[in-house]
A and B are shown apart, each in its own frame.
Chain A
Amino acid sequence: MTARTLYDKIWDEHIVAQRPDEPALLYIDLQLVHEVTSPQAFEGLRQRGLKVRRPDRTIATIDHSIPTTDRSLPIADPIAAKQVAQLGVNCAEFGLPLMAPGSGHQGVVHVFSPELGLIQPGMTLVCGDSHTATHGAFGVLAFGIGTSQVEMVLATQCLLQQPSRNLRVNVTGRLKPGVTAKDVILALIAKIGVGGGTGCVIEYSGEAIRGLSMEGRMTISNMSIEAGARAGLVAPDEVTFAYLKDRAFAPKGAAWDAAVARWRTYVSDEDAVFDQEVTLDGSALEPMITFGTNPAMGIPITGSVPEPAALQAGVERDSLVKALAYMGMAPGQAILGHPIDVVFVGSCTNGRIEDLRAAAGVLKDRKVSPKVRVLIVPGSEVVKKIAEAEGLDKIFLAAGAEWREAGCSMCLAMNGDMLQPGQTSVSTSNRNFEGRQGPGGRTLLASPITAAASAIAGVVADPRSFA
């Protein structure tokens, strides 16, 4: 039998049918649903008189458009309130479970689901959200889809798909202190570009990846889409199994042992051939930060902003000039010491408990700069509960940061949490596109510890100075 990659194995196991010269029907084991990309899909089902085929393989939550303020108050924005209410109506009508605020499990769609043990190796998973790539950390083929496809999966549990190409990213060596999963993925995207993974599924391997927790692996897989890849993958190992054990939806007893034995087969064969391979020396990485308006515009934190004059005339140079003008950055300037107004710790990239612990480790017994507004937003109600049990909320509040309710918050400026025009943030989220955090807002992407260090300094700061 031909040697296969992890991606090939999951793909092969989920093909329902394929007619000659037509795309394959790929079976989807689990669909995650949220309020923003689903209303038109449910409306489509109604118009066609269709039911949800597998409500038992579907689960919903509310994250993008709900405020992260006091949950006992109604949602002030009437359009957001209507969208949130509509998801409740749709789930009730179609018989879908909904992890609503107050359920104890509401959260960012990519944070609440792994916590429940819903994400298990070898599965296929989709959601109307590009950061669905997060779940590849478990050796799950997980990718974002549009609303038309949300409707298709609700109706048939299948999607029409063409196979992707296999790209292996080998991160060698051990990460130095102060260098996190976020720095690895920002360094990779800076290296291969925002289109570097187009048409590919990335499998992350190597010592640096094996040394990461599930939270760290999720951070990396999450941003696969920022390199243009549809999905990321990390082969499951003991770290994966230890994370899953005893979680609500994980198998129990004899079924657990059988599941682990099966999960161990979800690795690329040793002689599997990848269409493309990239190596990153993990031991040489520094903390990373972005300076521009796409996630590939990243540099080591001790570095300086590139000079457009060094590029040949053309669209690329024009894009850099435009980005620096938008960001208020001078060509060649050091990024350390660049003034900031806001720090955001949260999102599907870095809103998990480990991220909050890391930020709290820097903020403990320190004060944030009086010039800086700091938002700490747990990724889910579960993260919030654990953080409070550990006293992290008290550390944040004592430092002068805001401790908020679970949601997407300032990652995408559609729930009230946003930058004012001209403000600069250091953000642990995933996109620094123009206006992503609010019209005219400027976003510097970085790790939770770099964000926390910058919050204290009031300017971009090196987390290693606060170790």
Chain B
Amino acid sequence: MKPFTTFESALAVLPMDNIDTDQIIPARFLKTTTKEGLGLQLFHDWRYGKDGAPKGDFPLNRPEAKGAEVLVGGDNFGCGSSREHAPWALTDAGFRAVVSTSFADIFYGNSLKNALLPIKVTADVHRQLLAAGSGARVKVDLEHQTLTLPDGSTTTFPVDAFPKRCMLLGVDELGYLLQFSQEIDGFEAGHQAGFDTRAKV
């Protein structure tokens, strides 16, 4: 992972609550065995018509949303399945942050592990962003945990210290976990398994 740096970007606004991971990336695209290329299928069934052509009225297809790296969604963004394909599809399509009033837990955690910053804002700030609409510009600063709004004002957002540090340094959690092999050995010595899954049944 690359270190997560401060950036400015246009917004893409999708004003709907409960945007679930089946909308972000439908299950039939999960048969892939790699992480790449899922951006093409991001929001597939909203984004493309039956003939496969992009729908002009879908907010992300509109010219003002083009090149946006910050997506604004509604409440409870990313609910549904645990598929990490959801953040993979968003980052593959160029997004680096998603802004909402709340996020589903698994999506939130998966995003932080994939250099996609979930930014939780108040209902008031959310309304401002919806009103500003796609194409309005914001600045995302993870180090100071600030989001600069289109009108130039600044709001802060929460993020736990540990994933923040991982994102800023561009390191992943597995590397951190691997440092604990002695502690894990010690724990396992006093925590025997009741069975061996490899036993014949």
Contacts and interface: CB of A to CB of B under 8 A. Distances in A.
Given A145-B106, A322-B16, A414-B28, A27 B184 contact: yes
B31 A83 contact: yes
B75 A195 contact: yes
10 contacts: A16-B187, A29-B193, A59-B197, A105-B201, A145-B82, A158-B180, A199-B105, A248-B199, A318-B15, A414-B28
B85 to A, nearest CB: 8
Contact of A36 (B15, B30, B75, B178): B30
Contacts of B84: 37, 40, 128, 146-148
Contacts of A322: 16
Contact of B27 (A147, A152, A413): A413
A391 interface: no
A414 B38 CA distance: 16
Given A22-B162, A130-B81, A147-B84, A57 B193 contact: yes
B80 A198 contact: no
B196 to A, nearest CB: 4
Size bracket of the B interface = 35 or more
Contact of B162 (A23, A152, A436): A23
A433 B173 contact: no
Contacts of B187: 16-17, 27
A439 B26 contact: yes
Nearest to A259: B194
B83 interface: yes
Interface string A143-168: 01111110110011110101000000
Given A116-B201, A434-B22, 13 more contacts: A16-B183, A27-B191, A40-B33, A54-B193, A57-B197, A130-B81, A146-B83, A148-B173, A151-B174, A228-B105, A322-B16, A431-B20, A433-B22
B131 interface: no
Interface string B160-201: 111000000000111011101101100110010111111101
Given A97-B197, A118-B195, A319-B16, A156 B83 contact: no
Interface stretch (A74-82, A354-362, A455-463): A74-82
Contacts of A21: 161-162
Contacts of A54: 193
B134 interface: no
Nearest to A80: B31
B18 interface: yes
Nearest to A249: B195
B104 interface: yes
Interface in B1-30: 15-18, 20, 22-23, 26-28, 30
B30 to A, nearest CB: 5
A56 B195 CA distance: 8
Nearest to A408: B27
Interface stretch (B61-69, B107-115, B143-151): B107-115
Contacts of B160: 23, 162
| Residue among A36, A43, A65, A83 facing the most chain B CB atoms (10 A cut-off) | A36
A21 B12 CA distance: 34
B60 interface: no
B118 interface: no
B74 interface: yes
Contact of A155 (B23, B81, B177, B195): B177
A55 B174 CA distance: 18
Contacts of A116: 201
A144 B113 CA distance: 15
A155 B178 contact: yes
A219 interface: no
Contacts of A147: 84
Contact of A77 (B31, B50, B105, B195): B31
Nearest to A132: B82
A251 interface: yes
A434 B45 contact: yes
B82 A97 contact: no
A294 interface: yes
Nearest to A148: B113
Contacts of A158: 177, 180, 184
A145 B76 CA distance: 18
A21 B76 CA distance: 27
Nearest to B29: A414
B91 interface: no
A58 interface: yes
B17 A316 contact: yes
B106 A130 contact: yes
Given A16-B187, A155-B177, A156-B178, A129 B110 contact: no
Nearest to B126: A315
Of all A-B residue pairs in the complex, the 6 with the closest CB atoms, nearest first, are A146-B84, A144-B82, A39-B33, A146-B110, A195-B76, A59-B197
